[in-house]
């Protein structure tokens, strides 16, 4: 029997606000343990939380960018559980009235992965084990998070991968998070079940907790899918449980038994007032949103005439798209800028995080200048390509690398002169051409290009050479 995978995601994204969700401590990653802390975020007796307005704003942005409805009224709740990294013994979160509801993310295959809700909450601290003892670092405690909960709409590992990548991309675009999975600023829990293909009924699900790499997610899901299928095939039952993924053995294992099932005793946090978000404020925030990757992709293809594949490469990183837009600004053909970026500039950027920063040796302004020289007929493509390589090496402007004489256009008489020379010095090629070898003309054009150091217009040269040969 064939089985279908059914998966949903709970994704925690750390918001890139400067200060924590309930106090004014910095949210910076790292730092000496317990130095990014104050009485409020270590929960000293008598302290009270004060909701950071930026957190609400960022979460609304995340909601709008994922097509959610923004609740006019929401509230903060306490999720009570006892663990040393949680200094108040409760996490301030949102339970039954989250800030954002009912959104979706559209995948490239056209399927929409529905988003049930997005809520805001505080992160916990971190346990540090060393020399047989355990210490707690509360620097991360109180860093704002959003939890994005999807419906179980994902049907394959490829879809899962694309969903996470899309979320990451959107959050980075709108500037609410850097979504660095290796630093924990984006973490995923996956709910996964299997069912016979064609069945409508959901199977029993398991939850794989806290994964911080897209590759691990894919591997864990694959392992878990096979494990569940094997269980069912052998007549056993899938047990609803929480699992941990071990990336060394590539297996999942149970984190806690059912008997330990937590009762979080949620109730409204009496220390915080109702969150009111008037519709007018949502509109305001919507206008502040940048163009989203999906919108950019559409525009690049439809308005700028880029091939979809190229457009996808450009929108994948916000900085790259911005660079492209600056470089192609005011030029005749956006494709030229796209080709330069994808063909030449990308080669100098090694990994994901460099692409993310896209801090390349050629400024967008300089590339724009180069393309405008091409547009103006002052520089031929071959010269432009070699110039761009030099620009990448030196960081210099095109005008610093191309001399006046290089740029001076070959005038009509000089071109005629060169073409005549080509015919005179290459009798063999001329003969070949006369005997019907069309290709022989290329050698003659090559002569002109070489001797003009690339300044000649190849098309004009070809027609001139042809007319010289015919008129001879």
Partner 1 sequence: MIESKIVKLHKMLEEKEISCKELTQRYIDALQKDNAQLNAYVTTTPEAALEAADKVDEKIAKGEKIDILEGIPMTLKDNISTDGIRTTCCSKILEDYVPIYDATVWKILKSQNAVLLGKTNMDEFAMGSSCENSYFGGAKNPHNIEHVAGGSSGGVASAVGGNIAVYGLGSDTGGSIRQPASFCGIVGMKPTYGAISRYGLIAYASSFDQIGPITTSVEDAAIVYDVISKYDKMDSTSQGRKGAPVCDTLKNDIKGMKIGLAREYLDGVRDDVRQSVEQAAEIYKSLGAEIVYFDLPALKYALPVYYILACAEASSNLGRYDGIRYGYKAESYRDVNDMIKKTRSTGFGDEVKKRILLGTYVLSSGYYDAYYKKAQNLRGTIVNSFKNAFKVCDVILAPTVPMTAFENGHAVSDPVETYLTDICTVPVNIAGLPGISVPCGYNANGMPIGMQLIGNTFEEAKILNAAWQYENAANIYKSSDFGVKL
Q: Which parts of this chain interact with partner 1 (CB under 8 A)?
A: 39, 42-51, 78, 80, 82, 84, 87-90, 134, 136, 263, 265-267, 270-273
Nearer to partner 1, 63 or 125 (CB): 125
* Dihedral of alpha carbons 406, 408, 410, 413, sign: negative
Whole-number Å distance between alpha carbons of 397 and 365: 9
How do strand 242-246 and strand 73-74 relate by DSSP bridges? unpaired
State the minimum distance, in angstroms, from the CB of residue 49 to partner 1. 7
Count of C-beta atoms within a 10 Å radius of residue 5: 21
Q: Which two tokens stand for residue 318?
A: 């916000």
If you write DSSP's letter for every residue of 212-273 in order, what string do you get?
--HHHHHHHHHHHHHHHHHHHHTT------EEEEETTTTEEEEEE-GGG------EE-TTS-
Nearer to partner 1, 52 or 426 (CB): 52
If you write DSSP's letter for every residue of 422-466 in order, what string do you get?
HHHH-HHHHHHHHTT-TTHHHHHHHHHHHHTTT-S-HHHHHHHHH
User: For residues 155, 161, 162 and 164, what is the CA-based torsion angle, rounded to 10 degrees?
Assistant: 110
State the minimum distance, in angstroms, from the CB of residue 92 to partner 1. 11
State the minimum distance, in angstroms, from the CB of residue 202 to partner 1. 23
Helix (H, G, I), strand (E, B) or coil at 317: coil
Whole-number Å distance between alpha carbons of 365 and 385: 16
Helix (H, G, I), strand (E, B) or coil at 118: strand
State the minimum distance, in angstroms, from the CB of residue 16 to partner 1. 23
State the minimum distance, in angstroms, from the CB of residue 75 to partner 1. 12
Nearer to partner 1, 78 or 117 (CB): 78
State the minimum distance, in angstroms, from the CB of residue 34 to partner 1. 10
Question: At how many degrees (to 10) do helices 214-233 and 157-173 cross?
Answer: 150
State the minimum distance, in angstroms, from the CB of residue 87 to partner 1. 6
Q: Which two tokens stand for residue 26?
A: 């910095």
State the minimum distance, in angstroms, from the CB of residue 42 to partner 1. 6
| Helix, strand, coil abundance in the chain, percent, nearest 5 | 40, 20, 40
Whole-number Å distance between alpha carbons of 273 and 127: 31
Nearer to partner 1, 29 or 266 (CB): 266
State the minimum distance, in angstroms, from the CB of residue 84 to partner 1. 5
Nearer to partner 1, 37 or 190 (CB): 37
Q: Which residue has the tokens 């200048």?
A: 369
Contacts 24+ apart (CB under 8 A), 299-302: 300/334
Whole-number Å distance between alpha carbons of 18 and 176: 11
Nearer to partner 1, 40 or 148 (CB): 40
State the minimum distance, in angstroms, from the CB of residue 83 to partner 1. 9
- CA 414 and chain centroid, separation: 51
Whole-number Å distance between alpha carbons of 143 and 25: 9
Nearer to partner 1, 50 or 450 (CB): 50
Nearer to partner 1, 260 or 303 (CB): 260
Whole-number Å distance between alpha carbons of 444 and 372: 29
Nearer to partner 1, 261 or 408 (CB): 261
Nearer to partner 1, 95 or 104 (CB): 95
State the minimum distance, in angstroms, from the CB of residue 4 to partner 1. 32
State the minimum distance, in angstroms, from the CB of residue 278 to partner 1. 18
* Dihedral of alpha carbons 231, 206, 211, 222, sign: positive
Nearer to partner 1, 86 or 338 (CB): 86
Nearer to partner 1, 136 or 388 (CB): 136
């Amino acid at each position: 029997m064939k089985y279908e995978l059914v998966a949903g995601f709970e994704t925690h994204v750390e918001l890139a606000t400067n200060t924590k969700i309930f106090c004014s401590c910095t949210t910076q990653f790292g730092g000496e343990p317990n130095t990014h802390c104050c009485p409020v975020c270590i929960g000293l007796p008598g302290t009270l939380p004060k909701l950071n307005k930026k957190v609400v704003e960022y979460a609304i942005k995340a909601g709008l960018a994922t097509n959610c409805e923004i609740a006019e009224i929401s509230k903060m709740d306490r999720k009570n559980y006892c663990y040393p990294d949680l200094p108040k013994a409760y996490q301030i979160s949102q339970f039954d009235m989250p800030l954002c509801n009912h959104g979706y993310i559209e995948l490239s295959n056209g399927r929409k992965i529905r988003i049930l809700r997005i809520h805001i909450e505080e992160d916990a601290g971190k346990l540090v084990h060393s020399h047989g003892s355990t210490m707690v670092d509360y620097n991360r405690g109180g860093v704002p998070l959003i939890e994005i909960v999807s419906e179980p709409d994902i049907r394959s590992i490829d879809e899962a991968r694309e969903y996470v990548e899309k979320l990451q991309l959107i959050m980075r675009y709108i500037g609410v998070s850097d979504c660095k999975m290796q630093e924990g600023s984006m973490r995923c829990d996956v709910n996964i079940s299997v069912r016979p293909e064609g069945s409508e009924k959901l199977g029993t699900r398991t939850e794989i907790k806290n994964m911080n790499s897209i590759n691990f997610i894919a591997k864990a899901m694959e392992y878990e899918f096979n494990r569940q299928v094997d269980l069912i095939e052998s007549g056993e039952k899938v047990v609803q449980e929480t699992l941990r993924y071990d990336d060394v053995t590539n297996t999942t294992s149970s984190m806690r038994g059912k008997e330990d099932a937590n009762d979080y005793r949620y109730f409204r946090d009496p220390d915080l007032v109702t969150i009111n978000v008037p519709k007018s404020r949502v509109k305001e925030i919507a206008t502040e949103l940048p163009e989203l990757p999906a919108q950019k992709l559409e525009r690049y293809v439809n308005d700028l005439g880029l091939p979809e594949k190229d457009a996808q490469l450009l929108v994948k990183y916000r900085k790259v798209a911005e660079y492209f837009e600056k470089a192609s600004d005011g030029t005749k053909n956006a494709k030229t800028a796209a080709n330069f970026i994808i063909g030449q500039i990308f080669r100098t950027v090694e990994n994901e995080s460099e692409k993310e920063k896209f801090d390349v040796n050629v400024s967008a302004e300089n590339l724009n200048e180069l393309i405008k020289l091409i547009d103006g007929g002052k520089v031929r493509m071959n010269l432009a390509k070699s110039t761009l390589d030099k620009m990448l090496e030196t960081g210099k402007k095109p005008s610093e690398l191309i001399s006046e004489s290089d740029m001076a256009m070959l005038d009509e008489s000089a071109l005629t002169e060169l073409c005549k020379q080509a015919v005179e010095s290459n009798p063999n090629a001329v003969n070949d051409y006369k005997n019907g070898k069309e290709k022989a003309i290329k050698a003659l054009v090559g002569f002109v290009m070489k001797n003009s150091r690339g300044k000649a217009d190849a098309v004009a040269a070809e027609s001139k050479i042809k007319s010289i040969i015919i008129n001879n």
